[in-house]
Amino acid sequence: MQIATWNVNSVRQRTEHLLRYLREVGPDVLCLQELKCVDEAFPHAEVEAQGYNVAVHGQKGFNGVAILAKAPIEVTRGLPGDPDDDHARYIEAIVPNGAGIVRVASIYLPNGNPPQTDKYAYKLAWMDRLIAHAKSLLLLEERLVLAGDYNVIESARDCFDPAAWEGDALFLPETRARFHTLLNLGLTDALRATTDAAGLYTFWDYQAGAWQRNKGICIDHVLLSPQAADRLVKVTIDKELRGEDKPSDHVPVRIELNGEA
């Protein structure tokens, strides 16, 4: 079973990129972030024509997450813990897989910049809610995949120039501490379960030749429950998509899980 995550940075601008990825790679499940559109504006018909069921939690102009799956899915929208939070940043689905299921979430964690503002307080509070929800999901002892754009640089090996990110909300100690709290619940970072290598990036800014100079960061993560981690076969960063015409500034991260039951 292949599960991928991709911040498309506007699905309407990147529809052809998305459809090509579905045709050529064809993951069983694809988590999308930063749709930047309401549910009705998502290209439902085009994606469904590729053989996918579509669940969208959209928002006008920014945010927005979705889960695309070849199998029918049972969907929950929104991260619990704050009924007043109207940001479309979390969607969760139960995906049948043979005799069992896989629970998958698409996550668009707040950026938090500038850190001296309410935006950073919101980021930390959102992470606290995610930690609480993940803790409850782990009690189910299911194959759980929490995938998305976490807006977290977990360590110095995950950015080209660590000094340039000091003071940024993505790399502040409080941000990384909460990410480590999430991992310490019993979750496994899929990429880091397969390699300790530096220089593996998922995002390159549009400015200053970042892609051409490989000045990237790794902020798109796939976290696995023990039941899912036990079935992890490999992790692929589909880096070549960043070199396409008018690409997203993020590329997909794709995992393969072994077995169905």
- The set of catalytic residues is 108, 149
C-alpha–C-alpha distance, residues 25 and 248, integer Å: 17
Nearest by Cα to 127 from 221, 208, 227, 12: 221
Adjacency order of strands within the sheet including 29-33: 53-57, 65-69, 29-33, 2-7, 253-257, 232-237
Question: Alpha helices of the chain — where are they, by DSSP H?
Answer: 15-24, 44-48, 118-138, 162-165, 173-184, 190-194, 226-229
How many degrees, rounded to 5, is the angle at CA 109 between CA 66 and CA 6? Answer: 45
Please give the single-letter amino acid code of residue 233: V
Burial class, 118, CB count within 10 angstroms (exposed 0-12 / middle 13-18 / buried 19+): exposed
Cα dihedral angle (7, 8, 11, 16), rounded to 10 degrees?
-150
The backbone torsions φ and ψ at residue 51, rounded to the nearest 5 degrees and listed phi first, read 95, 25
3-33 CB burial, b ≥16 within 10 A, e <16: bbbbbbbbbeebeebbeebbeeeebbbbbbb
> Six-digit token pair at 150?
């976490």
The Cβ of residue 206 has, within 10 Å, a number of other Cβ atoms equal to 11
